[in-house]
Amino acid sequence: MQYWLMKSEPDVFGIDDLQKVSIEPWDGVRNYQARNMMRDLMQVGDQVFFYHSNCEVPGIVGIASIATKGYPDDTACNPEAKYFDPKSDPQNPRWYRVDVQFVRKLTRTISLHELREQAALQDMPLVRKGCRLSVMPVSTTEWQAILDLE
């Protein structure tokens, strides 16, 4: 099993939204590095920290799991979709997504500020200045260190 962190803005799609629908496609990722992780590395059953970004207190708010392997993100080919990419071709997909499934909310938000204070997390991409990736791997050691903070 691998571990991941996936960011979403709570006013767009937050942990409460995922809890209501149970399973949701994680679409709209338009970064090649994040796409490659979803397309090539994520496996059904991998665990995910659900992270709220661009909000008053950014941080980890819940846990989800990967419900499907990566598959083409058809929103890229839909001119009506928010994440339309005119260069995307359905015959040669540029963008991929996975479905994520709600597991649970954390008992509290573990803030980015708190994460940055943890010595065990100093190599985690999330705590580095300027990290803008919306999808990133989490090591087993980092996963456990974060759960211990809860």
pLDDT value for 107 = 97
Number of domains making up the chain: 1
Residue 39's domain comprises 3-147
Decide: 87 and 93 in contact? Cβ < 8 Å: no
Please choose, from the candidates 131, 126, 39, the residue with its C-alpha nearest in 3D space to the C-alpha of residue 76.
39
Summary mean pLDDT of the chain? 95
pLDDT value for 119 = 95
Q: What single-letter DSSP state applies at residue 17? A: H
pLDDT value for 33 = 94
pLDDT < 70 positions in the chain: none
pLDDT value for 47 = 98
pLDDT value for 135 = 96
CA-to-CA distance for 150 and 147, rounded, in angstroms? 5
pLDDT tens digits, residue range 67-91?
Answer: 999 999 999 999 898 889 989 888 9
Full-model pTM: 0.95
Q: Are strands 47-52 and 3-8 parallel, antiparallel or unpaired?
A: parallel
Decide: 95 and 85 in contact? Cβ < 8 Å: yes
The CATH number linked to 102 is 3.10.590.10
Helix or strand holding residue 114 (H, E): helix 112-116
pLDDT value for 94 = 93
pLDDT value for 129 = 81
